Structure 1
Amino acid sequence: MTRIKKGILTLVSLSLVLIYCLINDPSRDITLTLGLYVGSSWDVPNGESYQVIDQAIKKFEKKYPNVHFEYKSGIIKDDYSSWLANEITKGTTPDVFMVLPDDFNTLSSIGILKNLDRLIKEERIDTSLFYQSALFAGNNGSQYALPYEINPTIMCINHDLLTKEGIAIPSSNWTIDDFYNISNQVTKDTNNDGVIDQYGYYGFDWQDVLDCYGLQVFKEDNCHLDKKEVKEAFLYLTKLKALSNDYQVSSEDFDQGKVAFCPLTFAQYRTYQPYPYRISKYTSFKWSCISMPGTKSNTITTHLDTSLIGMSSQTKHQEIAWEFLKMLTMDGDIQQSLLDNSKGASPLKKVMLSKKTKEILVKDTVSYASLDSDVLNRILENTLVEPKFKEYENILEKADYLINQSIDQGTIDNDLNKIQKKLENELK
């Protein structure tokens, strides 16, 4: 070992000892403030939203008895951004706080979030323990937040319907051609009354089709909607919609076993169904999940939502805040408890591949639905990373309105250039 490496190791060791001494100094009573919202990050029922946080606090306080925590309970997710903005304005930004996807680009760009690069490097954190797309969700040139919980989009398949039609169940390396051909085969009038009553899909939208084509159309200073590949993707979506004569297939149709495919997030899968949410044992058909289809087999097409936690750049308790942030996001027991008590997935690979997780998935599936943990792990290893710029969420919301309106009117091919100009004006 070289002298330089020995020196670095000695410096890291001394830093860790110093951090331990600072946190455990009995004469130094410390209060760490947290920014949290109640409920699920994924807009599904979750009555245990504080349970994992409280478990982490209890574990941390046992290790560091002079550290105490404060957080305001009852803030709903819809109000959280406003509450956090108010705390920032007052100069009382929480030491450690949840970061909504809509807020991350802004908070990291204007210096509210602590840059974690140095801390990660000094402690030689093995970032490969995270699914890489989840980790990258907290990166905006540097690492500003760590993933706490993740939620991939998966494709649910009605096994019974495909079996009845004599169609083989697609594998995880299927393509959009497979998706269209199967949808075309199953879309029909089954009772010969002149009305289509069996359908190919429910809930597959314009963002899904762009993901399937591997297209990211929004950048910081422009967008690329008026491209050949984008037009091709929207033409594909138009062809899909035409299969059911533009009938608006509903989740109720899927519940009744009339639909072959339905994209769901992992959290929705664990709580299904929407009217109201109830577990999958109430469906009367066998269904399972695979990755979303792509233009070619083995292409990355799965969208991943990530719940992030970061620390204030102005915290007076950086060492303690960092230790707690690591516990929330890297402690295997805490993350396993999160999977058990919440509806999302863990960003830690070891948790998603654990024996306990396999048992949880079996418990969730009851008797009709199934999602194998190995399949889920392969999906999580290959997920799409969203663009990182300040106005992304705002421009996505505007695009959603304009594109859906155009698709509903059947004029998307002619409207793309006009929509692009409107969105580019917004970006400028």
Structure 2
Amino acid sequence: MRKSRLASGMVAALVLAGTAACSAGSSTDDDGKLTFMFRGGEDEKAAYQEAIDRFSADTGVEVEVIVTDADQYATKLQAAISGNNVPDVFYIEQASLQSYVTSGVLLDITDLVAESGVDLENIWEYGVDSYRYDGRLQGTPDGALYGLPKDVGPFALGYNKTMLEEEGIDLPDQDEPLTWDEWLDIMEQVTKDTNGDGKIDQWGTGLNVQWNLQALAWSNGADWTNADKTEVTVDTPEMAEALQYIADMTTVEEVTPSSEQQATLDTYQRWMEGELAFFPVGPWDVSTYNELDFEYDLIPYPAGATGEPATWIGSLGIGVSATTAMPEEATELVTYLSADATAQQTLVDAGIQVPNLKDMAAEWAAEEDVQPANRQEFLDIVEDYGRPMPAAVTYGAAWYDEMWTNIQPVLDGKQTAAEYLAEVQPRMQQLLDESNMQAEQAAAANETE
């Protein structure tokens, strides 16, 4: 995965746990100007500046933009929070929401959004609910609203259409998911030495276990926790089967580049070079992938024992500082960036996201002569079979990160998936227990302020 919607939020969520009351006494000068802090590449920066300039022209509210690179955002936002200089409006990661709420950093904008007249029914339910929190669980429909979605990021599966056609392989059905066996059969057919030098140079896929196990595990009936996020449930046969399937792709079936080959050129680059038949595609990839020398499209993820596809959806939110001197104007900026049709069109035209608005998204998906042709797959993930990442809706991510710390022996074929999961589950459980305790302590501390 090239652009994580989660990683910086994981860091911020843990750091904020130790600064629960830090921003409680801070204030923002009422100088008639809003500050908006966000992160992004050049395309995103330009699109947001265009949208914000239009907002200022329409409302008369001046907005000072503070923009950082993606890998610096969490650190710089935390510095602003610790220095009692919280921006009026800023990007929030799903994984940081609970920490921001219990630390008194985010404003409850439920009433202000209702008064704004924004039609929440026309915004993806997943996007809106991602920024709801009822004090115990995140994502509940009846939770208070602490932000609106900047975007939703469905993590789809792409395939190299040109390669499959050249190999004489029938293109996958865009509505009916392949079984794992059917998928493996296609990958075995395309994995070969294409130039006769005795070395494999074309493969089925090249998956990163940290970003791709979710799809296989969920479709096989496995999950990371129980429903109320109190019990780690990775030590099950269903999870072991999914993890072993990924490991065997390299060590047994050999339909992916080996670790040595990946060290020479990673699988993202090999996909870009046209060497892989299947690879994940997010909306943030489309503008880059559309410049590739081959044609690609989207399909549902292959389904495990449940017979149903699964994958994850990332998201970024936009929230308001609890200490802003301009809560109405700040919330107006949030609703404009998230739900105004003109602003959304500016961001969509930049090729950086799926439309937040359902009616706009339906028209976008139906456009002809575009790539990927099956844009509808992105919307199916958002509406139907996508889920939040396991740590996106918990207080901190240390418990989840532990899953990947010592997983390499499994991927190298030196340890079975079942053995590893039995070992890691107690460590993950301990960290989840600590995380939930920290959440309770932070909430109690904030209530006494």
> Per the shorter chain, which TM-score range?
0.7 to 0.9
Find the counterpart in structure 2 of residue 390 from structure 1. 395
Write the distance in 2 (CA, Å) between the matches of 1:50 and 1:189: 43
Query: Are the counterparts in 2 of residues 157 and 261 from structure 1 also a CA contact under 8 Å?
Result: yes
Cα pair distance change 1:254/1:35, threshold 3 Å: closer
From 206, 209, 233, the equivalent of 1:205 is 209
Q: How much does 1:286 deviate?
A: 3.0
1:154-173 → structure 2 map (5 Å cutoff): 154-172=156-174, 173=176
Cα 1:389–1:121 change in 2 (3 A) is: same
- 1:343 alignment partner, SS class: coil
Structure 2 segments unaligned to the other structure (5+ residues):
1-29, 135-142, 435-449
TM-score by length of structure 2 reads: 0.74
**Aligned mates of 1:261, 1:113 — CA distance in 2:** 40
> For 1:260-271, what aligned pairs fall within 5 Å after superposition?
260-271=277-288
Q: 1:217, CA displacement in angstroms?
A: 0.3
**Corresponding position of 1:295:** 304
Q: Are residues 182 and 109 of structure 1, via their aligned partners in 2, closer, same or farther at CA, if it must alter by over 3 Å?
A: farther
List aligned pairs for 1:184-333, cutoff 5 A: 184-189=188-193, 195-205=199-209, 207-214=211-218, 215-218=222-225, 220-241=229-250, 242-244=252-254, 247-248=258-259, 250-272=267-289, 280-281=291-292, 283=293, 285-295=294-304, 299-333=308-342
Q: How far does residue 289 in structure 1 lie from its aligned partner after superposition?
A: 1.7
Residue 344, structure 1, aligned to residue 338, structure 2: no
Gaps of 5+ in 1: 1-27, 40-45, 273-278
Alpha-carbon shift at residue 89 of structure 1 (Å): 2.5
Shift of 1:233: 1.0
Between the two proteins, what is the percent identity of the paired residues?
23
CA gap of 1:266–1:72, structure 2 versus 1, over 3 A, is: closer
Residues 259-292 of structure 1 deviation map (CA, whole Å, 9 limit, x = unaligned): 22111222223213xxxxxx524x2x33222232
- Cα gap change, 1:234/1:297 in structure 2, threshold over 3 Å: closer, same or farther? closer
Decide whether the 8 Å contact of 1:147 with 1:308 is kept in 2.
Answer: yes
User: Offset of 1:355 from its aligned partner?
Assistant: 5.6
Report deviation, 1:301.
Answer: 1.2
* CA drift at 1:206: 5.1
CA distance in structure 2 between the partners assigned to 1:302 and 1:252 by the alignment: 22
Moved over 6 A (4+): none
Query: Which residue is 2:132 aligned to?
Result: 139
Answer whether contact 2:156 2:377 (CA < 8 A) is retained.
no
Would you say how many aligned residue pairs link Structure 1 and Structure 2? 376
Once residues 305 and 399 of structure 1 are traced to their aligned partners in structure 2, the CA distance between those partners, rounded to angstroms, is: 19
Listed one character per residue, the Cα deviations across residues 64-117 of structure 1 (whole Å, up to 9, x for unaligned) are 33x3222334x3222222222222223221111111344233213323112233
Write the deviation string for residues 344-397 of structure 1: whole angstroms up to 9, x where unpaired: 3232223323369937x82xx4xxxx33333433333222123411113x3333
The equivalent residue for 2:421 is 416
Shift of residue 252, structure 1, vs aligned partner:
4.5
Residue 163 of structure 1, CA deviation = 2.8
Q: Is the CA contact 2:36–2:90 (under 8 Å) kept in the aligned structure 1?
A: yes
Query: Structure 1: how far apart are the matches of 2:73 and 2:347?
Result: 20
Superimposed CA distance per residue, residues 388-410 of structure 1 (whole angstroms, 9 cap, x where no aligned partner): 11113x33333223224542353
Q: How does 1:36-47 map to 2 (within 5 A)?
A: 36-37=38-39, 39=40, 46-47=41-42
TM-score of the superposition, structure 1-length normalised? 0.78
Task: State the Cα deviation string for residues 188-224 of structure 1 (Å, max 9, x = none).
Answer: 4556765444321122525423323314304644421
1:399 aligns with 2:399: no
Residue 357 to residue 315, structure 1, CA distance change in 2 (3 Å) = farther
Residue 27 of structure 2 is matched in structure 1 by none
The amino acid of 2:334's aligned partner reads: L
Q: Which amino acid aligns with 1:60?
A: F
Please report the RMSD computed on the Cα atoms of aligned residues, expressed in angstroms.
Answer: 2.9
| Residue 113 (structure 1) aligns with | 106
How many Å separate the matches in 1 of 2:224 and 2:173?
28
Q: Please tell me whether the aligned partners of residues 156 and 280 of structure 2 are also in contact (alpha carbons under 8 angstroms).
A: yes
